């Protein structure tokens, strides 16, 4: 029995030694071969040795990277050329990572996997370097081309009308998303096209809101001695007025009603034309030429009533806009402080 036991032990030991040698031989034989199932990016390099894997990477990954990355926005196209990026690829580093991934597990499990055709499910991230500054410049240039500030709806007054100007919707490029998408495309040998995401930017005042924005608008046509009142951009009423005489012209331009007063006090300008009244304060009453109502416009000029009805329809004032008492009282109730007044 002792002899047989010795023989059995020797046989077992010999088998183990042979098995170990076989495992070592299998592992050594495949040490530079990449395991099935290993990919570099989207490139399957399973079963290849180092040299063949490097060739496959050049053909399937590096060469396509020499194509332009194309960004589309509407009907426009923007091209990012490889020459502008100084693209560099670490082929040896990617192959090393693939071989290292193939050594997963112990020597025995590796050998069994290799003999039985098992796989290693592993993807090596491509090692591709490029100038990020060039990508930033590219995205910035696209943003400059695409971005557009919104334009609020407004009005363009003339002597005889208030013309609406429609609003314009703005747009802005989602730069951070585009930068990320471009970087992903730079790493991809297949998908080299990117669609830029653009957001619309609404104006603060849309065309539909314009009438409410300009609920009241006053236009003075000096050439025809006419004041027109617009409500919601529609002509509401027309008045005959007097304007500044030659040398005392009513100031032209766009202003706003600065203040309002019933039975106004007249603070006489310190001017030669005022004579003895210059610099004085005249209370309401028969000696005060500012009758009934006052609507200040600019630098002492304003709209007021007058008892000199014969001056209406002429250039007769010292810069103010005169109206009949009934008309100025009517206008006063219709025009709030802050309303725009355009004097043509």
Q: Which domains does the chain have, with CATH numbers?
A: 133-208 (no CATH), 214-343 (2.40.440.10)
Q: Give the dihedral sign, CA 58/62/67/70.
A: positive
Cβ neighbours, 10 Å, residue 177:
13
The answer, as to whether pTM is greater than 0.75, is no
Beta bridge partners of 296: 259, 302
pLDDT, residue 275, reads 67
pLDDT, residue 207, reads 94
Distance CA 298, CA 311 (A): 22
Distance CA 205, CA 202 (A): 8
pLDDT, residue 126, reads 87
pLDDT, residue 42, reads 84
**Assigned token pair, 11:** 């046989």
**Assigned token pair, 117:** 């055709």
pLDDT in tens, the chain (344 residues): 566 766 666 566 656 665 555 545 545 555 678 888 899 988 899 889 999 999 998 888 888 778 899 999 989 999 999 888 888 889 999 999 998 888 876 666 666 666 666 788 889 998 888 899 999 999 999 999 999 999 999 999 999 999 999 999 999 999 999 999 999 888 787 788 999 999 999 999 999 999 999 999 999 999 999 999 999 999 999 999 999 999 999 999 999 999 999 999 887 777 766 667 666 788 898 888 899 999 999 988 999 999 999 999 999 998 999 999 999 999 999 999 999 999 99
pLDDT, residue 21, reads 54
Distance CA 62, CA 337 (A): 71
> Which long-range contacts does 325-330 make (Cβ < 8 Å, 24+ apart)?
325/291, 325/292, 327/239, 327/240, 328/291, 328/292, 328/293, 328/303, 328/304, 329/292, 329/293, 329/305, 330/237
Distance CA 291, CA 233 (A): 29
Question: Can you point out the beta strands (E) in 87-215?
Answer: 88-89, 122-124, 128-129, 154-157, 162-165, 170-173, 193-195, 198-201
**Assigned token pair, 285:** 């009453």
pLDDT, residue 317, reads 93
Distance CA 61, CA 43 (A): 7
């Amino acid at each position: 029995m002792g002899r047989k036991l010795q023989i059995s032990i020797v046989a077992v030991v010999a088998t183990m030694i042979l098995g170990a040698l076989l495992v070592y031989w299998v592992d050594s034989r495949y040490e530079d071969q990449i395991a099935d199932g290993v990919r570099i990016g989207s490139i399957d390099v399973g079963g290849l040795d180092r040299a063949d894997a490097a060739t496959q990477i050049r053909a399937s990954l590096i060469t396509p990277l020499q194509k332009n990355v194309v960004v589309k926005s509407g009907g426009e196209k923007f091209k990012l050329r490889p020459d502008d990026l100084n693209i560099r690829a670490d082929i040896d580093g990617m192959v090393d990572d693939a071989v290292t991934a193939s050594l997963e597990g112990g020597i025995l499990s590796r050998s069994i996997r290799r003999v039985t055709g098992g796989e290693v499910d592993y993807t090596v991230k491509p090692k591709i370097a490029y100038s990020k500054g060039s990508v930033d410049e590219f995205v910035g240039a696209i943003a400059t081309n695409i971005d557009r500030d919104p334009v609020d709806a407004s009005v363009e007054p003339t002597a005889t009308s208030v013309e609406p100007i429609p609003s314009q919707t703005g747009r802005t490029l989602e730069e951070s998303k585009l930068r990320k998408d471009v970087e992903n495309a730079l790493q991809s040998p297949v998908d080299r096209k990117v669609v830029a995401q653009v957001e619309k930017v609404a104006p603060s005042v849309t065309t539909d809101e314009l009438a409410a924005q300009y609920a009241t608008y006053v236009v003075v046509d000096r050439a025809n001695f006419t004041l027109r009142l617009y409500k919601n951009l529609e002509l509401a009423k027309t008045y005959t007025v007097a304007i500044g005489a030659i040398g005392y012209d009513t100031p032209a331009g766009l202003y706003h009603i600065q203040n309002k007063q019933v039975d106004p006090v007249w603070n006489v300008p310190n001017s030669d034309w005022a004579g003895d009244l210059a610099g004085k304060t005249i209370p309401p009453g028969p000696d005060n030429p500012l009758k009934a109502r006052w609507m200040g416009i600019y630098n002492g000029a304003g709209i007021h009533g007058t008892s000199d009805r014969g001056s209406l329809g002429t250039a007769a004032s010292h810069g103010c806009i005169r109206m009949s008492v009934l008309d100025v009282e009517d206008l006063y109730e219709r025009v709030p402080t802050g309303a725009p007044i355009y004097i043509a």
